[in-house]
Structures are given as structure tokens and as C-alpha cells.
Structure 1
Amino acid sequence: MSRRAEEWELVSGAADETGANAYRPLLFSIAYGMTGSVGDAEDLVQDAFLGLARARRAGTVIADRKAYLTTAVTRLGIDHLRSARVRRETYVGDWLPEPVVSAGSGGPGPAEHAELADSLSMAFLVLLESLSPVERAVFVLREVFGYGYPDVARITGKTEVNCRQIFARARQRVTAGGRADTGPPPPARRARGEELARRFFDAAAGGDLDALLGMLAPDVVLHGDGGGKAQAIARPATGADRVAKLLVAGLRRVGRLGVSYRPAMVNGRPGAVMYDAEGRVAGVVGLDLDGGVIRAIHSVVNPDKLRHLGPVSEVALLPQR
């Protein structure tokens, strides 16, 4: 049996025996809020469970499994971010998080991924990139998951006073960077957003510039993440007229390649998953809505950030040298 298989058996047994599997959605969401990566979040959760299993095997009595696992996954996330910072600094093009696609909206994402991660919009996760690893941990625990300062202090290993200072500093930095949109939209606003998204994709695919301009905020921003591996805009594009023309040209090009879209909820917000003619994932587009208009568009076509959604298409890939 391989080492990974042994670890999985150990983790599964301990999780089932202790009932700790019920905490997986929360742990995944904390780890995803820390990293912006589905794959990394899954690994962090697995490592946290592995630590629990090893501690129990060694005879350690763990009175509060939820507190133990929450602390473990947060501190693992802090360590991960410290080691990943250099990779982020050398990332090719615009960095966007790996999208979480809700299964309930026709998307292929696992249900547990979407349960709490709906609170983490693409725009919000991009803003968190300005924070240090510890600032990000404190801010996510407090702002997104509502932990009190005593719990935040225990989880991060800081004092309550220090956590209050860290949170205030983090909130100021995030607010300066833009709107901090946390929490899924209420049902009525979500329904209006889904209808706006449907009209948006129909207009873009049909080349209806006038209709698009009526749905885009004047200062709308288009973000594209190809990671240097797939075709995407080199830097964010701003302005309704420019963004509308880029969208029409882009969708017209991929449409000739047999790419179509299916509406989905992306990080709890309206969007779509793009598929090629063989049904492979070609990209994910998420929309940031406010006041009945689209304020930001996040397009992820980097194949490395789509693999958790299923087989990935090659239609947008750049030729490799």
C-alpha cells in the first residue's frame, strides 16, 4: 500500500469513528478562504485530519475535535501562504482564485465545496491577496465565519489584543482595495442576478453590443486568468465600451471552436461554465453584480485551475515552446 493510501485509510477511519467528517465543509471553506485554491484547500483539510488521526493513535485525548481541526487547518494555511508567496509574485498575468461552482446550479462542483464557500466571492478573494498570511487568517475567521476574538486568538496563537489590531489593519487594507463582498446574496437578489447573467451571456454570444452596454457599469472591469497557459487578456480591461467589445470578440472566437456556456453559480454569484464540443471544461466566468449592473467579470481559463471541475478542454491553450 502506498504512503498516500495509508494516510487516506488512517484519516478516513479516524474521521468516521469520531464523527469529525461533519466539519469538512467548514474546514474546506476556511482553507479555501486562506488559499483561493480548491486543490490546496483539499490538501490542507486532509493534512489536518491526518494530524488528528496521528494524535489519537499516539493516545492524545482531544476534547473538542472541531476546535482542533479548525486550528490545524488555519495554521497549515498560514504556513502554505508563506511558502506560496514567491509563486504568486512570479505568476504570469492576472491571478484569480480557482472557481467554486455550485452543484445545485447545474455546475460540476462537489456540494461540500459550495456549502460555505458561497460567502467567498471571486472579487473578495482577490482583495485578500493584499494581506499577509496571518492577517488573512484573522480576517477570514472574523469577517467571513464570525469567530469571536477569543477563538481567533486561540486558533492563530495570538493574543486577543493583537488579533483586534490585526483585524482592524486588514479591514482597512481590504476596504482600500475595493468592496469587500462577503456572504451569499439573498434569494430575491440572487434570482435577479441569475436573470441578468442569462441576458448578459446571450447578448455577448450574439454580439449585441447595445444590450451589453446596458448591463455593464461604466467602470466595469474584466479580469482574465490564463496563467501563461491559455489565451487571456494580459491585464485587466476597464470601461463598458472596451469590455463589451472584448467580450463579443472573445465569445465569437470561441463560438467558432464549438464552445458553449451553461449558467452556474460561481462562488455564490451568477456566472457560467464554458464547455467545448466534447463536453470538456474550457473556462469559468463569474460576474460581480451591484445595483442591477455588472461591475466586474472574472474569467478563469488557466487549465490548472479547472481540473477539479472535470476533463479540461484544449481549445484555449497556448502553443507550448
Structure 2
Amino acid sequence: MNDESEPDAEQISRQLFSIAYRMLGSASDAEDLVQEAHERLLRASAAGTVIESKPAFLTTITTRLAIDYLRSARVRRESYVGTWLPEPVLTDPDPSERAAMSDSLSLSFLVLLETLSPVERAVFLLREVFAYPYDEIAEIVDKSEENCRQVLSRARNRISDGRPRFEVSSQERDLLTARFQAAAEDGEVDALVELLAADAVFQGDGGGKARAVAAPVFGGQQVARLLVGFFRRYASLGARMEPTQVNGQPGLLAFDADGHLINVLAFDISEGVIQTVRSIINPDKLAHLGYPLSDIARIDRPDSQA
């Protein structure tokens, strides 16, 4: 590939971040990996290394760095306090922009990828999400094409049943989220139950840094009562909720009375109801969003919860 046919630097960086973020489930770590890949490109060029395609070089380095990172992170993930959820990213609210890759960006999908080994994850993403040809995938992960096909087959089988499917339109999802917010703020448990799947799940991620529900809560009735309690407490503290798009799906940002971010709520909506509510309140996973962070839920405040 010659320079004239290659994408510009901004396009390359966006693609690299898209791969790294889906690999790691961490926006901040993905940014670090992309930066490291660019630095390695500069060092290689300065050393006189002939690089036929900068995008190919950068994709290979980024993917291999992500694989290495995941291997070293396995122990940290296993010792994580409470439920581990990916770092949220706020995405374009434009439905036309959201539709293209939102399913592969959803928190549900990123959580599901945790069931794959690092190499399986790389092969699956490069082929299924980014449509790389097998010969390029083989070079990136340093395996034969046949081996990559086998890896992909295993990965598909492992996650096929759990892969999220968001059939409803973006407008329907946004409307359902607005109804959810209104019912939760008004303390209407019965109205919330109607918006939640019978087997709805609530997950909270505090990571030992902020107070969160220690284990998932199951059942529409139980989740509704939990959420009404949270919203009631937030209202007593002068907090407000702002609709947003989280990883291509509807969500809410919770701000305290000073406009500092408390947590991010993200929703999985399917078959006309909310299937999963995820609350990410670990400050380490919110810092990259660019908002000043609240201390309301800080772990050393005995009156905090999230």
C-alpha cells in the first residue's frame, strides 16, 4: 500500500483506538496503547526500518500490545473488587452514526468478549467487526491462516448465544429511557417494573473505590425498587440525571449539585424492555470522560452509596 492510498493520521488513530478499546474494555489504556504504537513507528522509522504500510504496522503493534496487556491483566481482573465492567465511552447521538458499529461497542458485547482468550478476542474482532482478511489477521497475530480460521470458529461458538441483539430502533430506545428516568425520579415502582424485563439485571462497578452494589441484582421488581431508592437518595443530595449515549446505547449521567459526575448508567434494551442496567461509579473508569468527579460515593464516606 502506498502513501496516497493510506488513510490520514486521524483516521488511522480512530481505527487503532476502536480495536484497542474493544480488546481491553478501557478507553484510557487503549489511548496509551495507540500512543505506544505510534512511538514504536517513529523509532522504527528513525532506525531505518522499511515500513511498507504504516496502518498495517500500527494495527499489528496495537493488537499485539493489547494481547500482551490482557495476558498480564488476567490476575488483576480476577482480584477485582465486585463486578468488573468496561470503562464507558460517550458516543455520537446521531442514529446514523450509532447504527454502524454500536452493537460491537455495547457494554454487553465488551463483557461477553471477556470469555475469550486474548488471541481469540483479537481474531474475532479483526474478522467479525473490522472485516480484516485472513492473511492480514494471520500476520497480525503471528499464526497461520488456517489456525486463525479455527480460532475464529471457536470464538464464534463460545459467544454466539450471548451476543447482544438490539432489535428496537434508536428512537424507541431513547423514548423508553426517558420513560425510565421519569418513573425512577417520581418513585413509581410499578411503572418501572413495566419498563424492565421480568428477568432484568442490575450491575454496579465500584472497584473498591466507590460504594456499589456488591453483586448483581436479578428480577424486574427487585431492580425497580433498588433504582427508586438510588434516585430518591440522589434527589435528596440535589443530584440530576442527564440523558446521553453510552457505548452506542441509551444511558444517563448522574451529576451532583456542583455539576460533578457521580456515575454513568447504561441500558441494554431489547424486545421493547430494559434487560440490563449497569452503573459504573468507579472513579478510575470515569476520569477519561473529562468531567470533574464527585466524592459523594467515595468509599471512605459512610453515607455514600451507588
Q: TM-score, normalised to structure 2's length?
A: 0.90
- Say which is worse superposed, 245-254 or 95-104, in terms of deviation: 95-104
Q: Which amino acid aligns with 2:121?
A: R
Residue 184 of structure 2 is matched in structure 1 by 204
Deviation at 1:180, TM superposition (A): 3.7
- Say which is worse superposed, 142-151 or 241-250, in terms of deviation: 142-151
| Inter-partner Cα distance in structure 1 for 2:8 and 2:163 | 38
Deviation string 1:163-188 (CA, Å, 9 cap, x unpaired) is: 11111111222235x2344xxx69x8
| Inter-partner Cα distance in structure 2 for 1:294 and 1:265 | 15
Size of the aligned set, in residue pairs, is: 292
Compared CA separation, residues 200 and 228, structure 1 to 2 (3 A)? same
RMSD of Structure 2 on Structure 1 (CA): 2.1
| Inter-partner Cα distance in structure 2 for 1:127 and 1:118 | 12
Matched, 1:51 2:40: yes
Matched, 1:230 2:216: no
Aligned identity (percent) is 52
Deviation string 1:231-276 (CA, Å, 9 cap, x unpaired) is: 2111111110111001101111122112211100000001111111
Residue 23 of structure 1 is matched in structure 2 by 12
Residue 35 of structure 1 is matched in structure 2 by 24
Structure 1: which 5+ residue stretches go unaligned?
1-17, 106-113
- C-alpha contact 1:74 1:155 (8 A) present in aligned 2: yes
Write out aligned runs for 1:116-155 (5 A).
Answer: 119-155=104-140
Deviation at 1:19, TM superposition (A): 4.1
- C-alpha contact 2:102 2:249 (8 A) present in aligned 1: no
Matched, 1:258 2:247: no
Deviation at 1:115, TM superposition (A): 9.2
| Inter-partner Cα distance in structure 2 for 1:98 and 1:115 | 21
Deviation string 1:191-249 (CA, Å, 9 cap, x unpaired) is: 11111111111111211112111111111111110111112111111110111001101
- C-alpha contact 1:29 1:117 (8 A) present in aligned 2: no
Residue 293 of structure 1 is matched in structure 2 by 273
Q: Which amino acid aligns with 2:268?
A: D
Compared CA separation, residues 218 and 194, structure 1 to 2 (3 A)? same
| Inter-partner Cα distance in structure 2 for 1:302 and 1:115 | 29
- C-alpha contact 1:222 1:298 (8 A) present in aligned 2: yes
Q: Which amino acid aligns with 2:292?
A: P
| Inter-partner Cα distance in structure 2 for 1:180 and 1:145 | 17
Q: Which amino acid aligns with 2:104?
A: S
Give the alignment partner of residue 245 of structure 1, picking from 206, 225, 230: 225
| 2:105 partner SS | coil
| Inter-partner Cα distance in structure 2 for 1:147 and 1:198 | 38
Give the alignment partner of residue 193 of structure 1, picking from 173, 189, 192: 173
| Inter-partner Cα distance in structure 1 for 2:107 and 2:143 | 28
Deviation at 1:64, TM superposition (A): 1.1
Compared CA separation, residues 320 and 278, structure 1 to 2 (3 A)? closer
- C-alpha contact 2:210 2:298 (8 A) present in aligned 1: yes
| Inter-partner Cα distance in structure 1 for 2:264 and 2:151 | 34
Write out aligned runs for 1:150-165 (5 A).
Answer: 150-165=135-150
| Inter-partner Cα distance in structure 2 for 1:149 and 1:290 | 33
Matched, 1:312 2:293: yes
Deviation at 1:132, TM superposition (A): 1.0
Structure 2: which 5+ residue stretches go unaligned?
1-6
Deviation at 1:156, TM superposition (A): 0.9
| Inter-partner Cα distance in structure 1 for 2:301 and 2:217 | 26
- C-alpha contact 1:135 1:167 (8 A) present in aligned 2: yes
Give the alignment partner of residue 163 of structure 2, picking from 176, 179, 182: 179
- C-alpha contact 1:100 1:117 (8 A) present in aligned 2: no
| Inter-partner Cα distance in structure 1 for 2:175 and 2:153 | 37
Q: TM-score, normalised to structure 1's length?
A: 0.86
| 1:119 partner SS | helix
